[in-house]
A and B are shown apart, each in its own frame.
Chain A
């Protein structure tokens, strides 16, 4: 039963990570390409991490929660890298407000 649940989370995570990558490849311009990786991957990694918490908490070594930190750091860093890339692009285009 637990294995089914873990596999389900792994699958969901994998699908969203894949969708994020498809977005990166498929969108026509740089700004639109940013959307896939900043969002779809947060749930992608999130799903895989939930599976990891479930798996390692059930091996008898007690609760395993440090996966939560990966999620936290991802939420902090993903918007910053997106912001930097977008800003660099605005700058290259010579936008006046960049």
Chain B
């Protein structure tokens, strides 16, 4: 975008002060992530779209085939559940997201209206309250949970329902079942004349025609192959916001691309409504769902501060930034099983 184009490249390190990264720091943090979490890799992307402030072969980071077993949208939270999750903050592992709040708001138009009134402030101020809540929550995950920071969560206020006219209405989402199983065009594709192949493990046959298969034994190994949605997740460097930015491309259990509406089912409903946009990927010719980075620096700054205050981590190095960043992202994408495994202590 023009805005990004005009914004000068950040040259001096400011990550401790403001939570932003220089391109060189992004590369260093990316190298560290790739080293620590082998599922992540650097990608060059479309050479025509390469940014000259990043190395040609290190334009963005990608991890492929990330399983996503459940729909956030389908997760039912009772208050008891939420309390329980908040109580043992350190173990909650992303489960703390107070998803039910967003759902309630969506169900009750009245509440929604109040929220919008409250949100009638300058857009630039909006991120703060939310960022604070996120920072507190992520802090509670990675550092020892303090009762105070955990307690903030249930009350955290999200005043910006309904902004972003580009958001698909969740009610308009097509049911996955509506999508036809096979394309009518492909009914007649010519005969395939193949030998019987008993040496091929067949997963689909196990369910349908299984008279001979069941005779063999109790459990069919093919049943262990996960049939689930997967995501290709990439992290680019956003020159304007000077932070990493996450992009998602989803596939259903049959490896068919997901629509944006379906992708929205896998994003914490809080964030799906306000921080996720569909935009052109900066290095590929595709439009993808992206977590908008306007609040990232803010949240990262808070997380860094909290970690420093806790004193458990002596000195946080800039190359650890992306590990922390992904931990923070797991709040937005609670059901995606991407890799940010290594604990910061081990780093």
| A and B: bona fide binding partners | no
- Chain B residues close to A by CB (< 8 Å): none
- Chain A residues close to B by CB (< 8 Å): none
